[in-house]
């Protein structure tokens, strides 16, 4: 099992990566503003899911 620090790093890094990919893809497909909104939303969802998983894993 990964330590808490590694888990946080994984989810933060994943949020940044998902946000960049979704922002770039949808930025080219729609508009710059659509890409930024989609990137921030995707990163937020990824980070929230990670926080919930970490919280659930920390329960006894």
What is the reported pTM? 0.69
Is the per-residue pLDDT at 48 higher than 70?
Answer: yes
Q: What is the average pLDDT value for the chain, to the nearest integer?
A: 80
For the chain, the 3-state helix, strand and coil shares in percent, each to the nearest 5, are 90, 0, 10
Mean pLDDT of 32-42: 86
Return the residue matching tokens 């710059």: 32
Q: In the chain, what are the domain boundaries?
A: 16-58
Q: How high is the pLDDT of residue 6?
A: 60
Q: How high is the pLDDT of residue 1?
A: 44
**Residues in contact with 20: Cβ distance below 8 Å, sequence separation at least 6, in sequence order:** 39
């Amino acid at each position: 099992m990964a330590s808490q620090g590694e888990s946080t790093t994984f989810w933060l890094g994943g949020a940044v990566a998902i946000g960049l990919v979704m922002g770039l893809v949808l930025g080219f497909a729609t508009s710059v503003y659509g890409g930024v909104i989609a990137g921030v939303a995707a990163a937020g969802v990824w980070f929230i899911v990670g926080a919930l998983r970490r919280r659930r894993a920390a329960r006894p």
